[in-house]
Amino acid sequence: MTSIASFVVAAAIAVGVALPTLATEEQATVAPTPTVAEHQSTVIEQFPTRDPATRFRDDWRNRRSGGRRHQGTDIYADKGTPLVAVADGFVRSMHAGGKGGYMLRIAHADGWETWYMHLDNDSPGSDDGSAGEKSAFAEGIEIGDFVEAGQIVAYVGDSGNAESGEPHLHFELHHRGRKTNPFPLLTTAWDRYLVALELGGSLQ
């Protein structure tokens, strides 16, 4: 979304304000109610990284320590690799703490949210954990900001319980508070990215 009108629509959706439509009364009575499945195809418009060396696989519900299950997709890339918003939305939270380390939440249309976790917290070229949020989040990003699909919002790291492992993004997809497997939609977005690279084009 780039126009003022589309920004207003996105803002209204994010806060749950009903929007008027131009449908006729007859159309309104027969139009089917949109389903979650119909919206899933657009909730991840772009892949979170722009690095062809990125690696990821379907690790949804894999076992983790303490008997818990993995509830996202781990996306492996070099520390400091820029991360982009996968769709238009509003920054819901930016914080650090717990197993997820530095994390960012973006609210999108139709009750969707994307969560970016284990963001960078190190000084350049180190693993000192002392850089804090200035290495985790893109400069100028603040809670409440509108971000466009493809806009840099954060950076890959190893904060939280990823400190002893390989830098990666733990990416979660939520719909109205319920976690859902992002892998199929990430795969589709990744394929689009690879096609764009082959054609020498850009997703911007």
Q: Write the pLDDT tens digit of every residue in 101-119.
A: 999 999 999 999 999 999 9
**Residue spans per domain, the chain:** 4-198
Region of residue 53 (phi > 0: left; psi between -120 and 50: alpha; otherwise: beta): alpha
Per-residue confidence (pLDDT) for residue 47, from 0 to 100: 98
Please report the pLDDT score of residue 33 as a whole number: 40
Amino acid found at 115: W
10 Å Cβ neighbour count for 157? 28
Q: Name the nearest CA neighbour of 156 among 147, 167, 166, 140.
A: 167
Q: Does domain 4-198 have CATH number 3.40.640.10?
A: no
Residue stretches of the chain with pLDDT short of 70: 1-42, 62-67, 69-70, 201-204
CA 98 to chain centre: 19
Q: What angle do CA 85, 7, 1 make, to 5 degrees?
A: 50
Query: What's the pLDDT score for residue 71?
Result: 84
Centre a 10 Å sphere on the Cβ of residue 79 and count the other Cβ atoms it contains: 19
pLDDT of amino acid 60: 76
Predicted local distance difference test score (pLDDT) of residue 120: 97
- The angle subtended at Cα 44 by Cα 5 and Cα 68, nearest 5°, is 135
Please state, as a whole number, how many other Cβ atoms lie within 10 Å of the Cβ of residue 167: 22
Instruction: Please state, in angstroms and rounded to a whole number, the distance separating the CA atoms of residues 44 and 188.
Output: 9
Single pTM value for the model: 0.76
Q: What is the pLDDT of residue 37?
A: 45
Asked if residue 117 lies in contact with residue 136, where contact means CB atoms within 8 angstroms, the answer is no
pLDDT at 148: 97
Please report the pLDDT score of residue 164 as a whole number: 86
